[in-house]
């Protein structure tokens, strides 16, 4: 008898920021495991290329949408178009995020608003829009936090505040929607080798050496390192787990 515990085949997943980095790693994992995937990204061309590649490489049906997650209309359009195309929505991965590098005393309110809007406001907005469709059974929301959900960060204060907020929002939505059968959990990636990771290495002097020295696994993570936890949180295997934030960090947060 085959186990269906980790089965996501036929489910429909939306991955924001799915055209690169961690979002691409998670979208690839879900498509490979049999889910149909919507790649929603600011970079529409990259999203289209990813959607075409995943459709060619796996049995998944895919769709690409150019979207800025901070736009109310575009967020609404993402959910509407997903339902038009697939008729259902089962898994929402709130992954799109940016990090504005600026000390707090120099940060403008426009910078603050933008960082919090992309990283936190959009998580609430898309979750709220998805709610009535997810509650129809087996709904999963997976939010992407950060090590800065836990630790302070003088060089990226709005980023850290937004990521701390993602953890609290995850708990709150989990409590609110548990009875509706929706599980809401977060992944807290350690230092992952992506475009954002490279930006961090450029902007924060000595970051590469600090990460390698501080991470017990002694390496940066790769987007593929998020695959297992994403499938776990997207599948029935995690049906009694809600409101938690799981570090995927090579031991960084416990060292
Ligand atoms: P990347 O920059 O590699 O990928 C982020 C993707 O999100 C890009 O394709 C980007 O598009 C897209 N995006 C950015 N802003 C928006 C927006 N407003 N609307 C829609 N899409 C948008 O970053 P990562 O893969 O590293 O980061 C993904 C998530 O993981 C983020 O939430 C980040 O905070 C988090 N994270 C990353 C860590 C790391 O070490 N890399 C560590 C901990 C957390 P475009 O390229 O066009 O800007």
Q: What pLDDT digit, counting tens, does each position of 141-184 carry?
A: 999 999 999 999 999 999 999 999 999 999 999 999 999 999 99
> Does 164 sit in the ligand 1 pocket, CB within 6 Å?
no
Query: How many other CB atoms are found less than 10 A from the CB of residue 244?
Result: 16
Calpha distance 234→184 (Å, rounded):
10
- The average confidence (pLDDT) of the chain is 97
**Active-site residue, 159 included:** yes
- Of ligand 1's listed atoms, the one at least distance from the Cα of 144 is 32
CB-based contacts of 205: which residues, under 8 Å, 6+ apart?
Answer: none
> Residue 19 CA: which ligand 1 atom is closest?
9
Q: Please state, as a whole number, how many other Cβ atoms lie within 10 Å of the Cβ of residue 41.
A: 28
pLDDT at 138 over 90: no
Cβ–ligand 1 contact at 193 (below 6 Å): no
Task: State if residue 187 touches ligand 1 by the CB under 6 angstroms criterion.
Answer: no
Ligand 1 contact, 247 CB (< 6 A): no
Percent of the chain with pLDDT strictly greater than 90: 96
The answer to whether residue 1 scores a pLDDT higher than 80 is no
Best CA proximity match to 33, nearest among 60, 14, 15: 60
Q: How far apart are CA 173 and CA 252, in angstroms?
A: 27
pLDDT of residue 18: 98
Residues 9-25 have a mean pLDDT of 98
pLDDT at 27 over 80: yes
Domains in the chain, CATH or no CATH each: 2-246 (3.40.50.720)
């Amino acid at each position: 008898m085959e186990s269906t515990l980790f089965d996501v085949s036929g489910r429909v997943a939306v991955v924001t920021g799915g055209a690169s980095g961690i979002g691409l790693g998670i979208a690839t994992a879900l498509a490979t495991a049999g889910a149909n995937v919507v790649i929603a990204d600011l970079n529409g061309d990259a999203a289209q290329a990813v959607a075409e590649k995943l459709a060619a490489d796996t049995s998944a049906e895919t769709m690409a949408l150019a979207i800025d997650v901070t736009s109310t209309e575009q967020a609404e359009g993402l959910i509407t178009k997903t339902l038009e195309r697939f008729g259902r929505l089962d898994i929402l991965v709130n992954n799109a995020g940016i990090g504005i590098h600026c000390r707090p005393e120099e940060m403008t309110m426009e910078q603050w608003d933008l960082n919090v809007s992309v990283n936190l406001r959009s998580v609430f907005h898309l979750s709220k829009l998805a709610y009535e469709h997810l509650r129809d059974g087996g709904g999963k929301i997976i939010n992407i936090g950060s090590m800065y959900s836990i630790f302070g960060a003088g060089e990226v204060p709005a980023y850290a505040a937004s990521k701390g907020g993602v953890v609290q929002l995850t708990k709150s939505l989990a409590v609110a929607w548990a009875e509706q059968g929706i599980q809401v959990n977060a992944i807290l990636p350690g230092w992952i080798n992506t475009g954002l990771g490279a930006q961090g290495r450029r902007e924060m002097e000595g970051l590469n050496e600090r990460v390698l020295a501080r991470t017990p696994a002694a390496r940066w993570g790769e987007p593929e390192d998020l695959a297992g936890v994403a499938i776990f949180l997207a599948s029935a295997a995690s049906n009694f787990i809600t409101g938690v934030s799981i570090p995927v960090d090579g031991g960084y947060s416990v060292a």
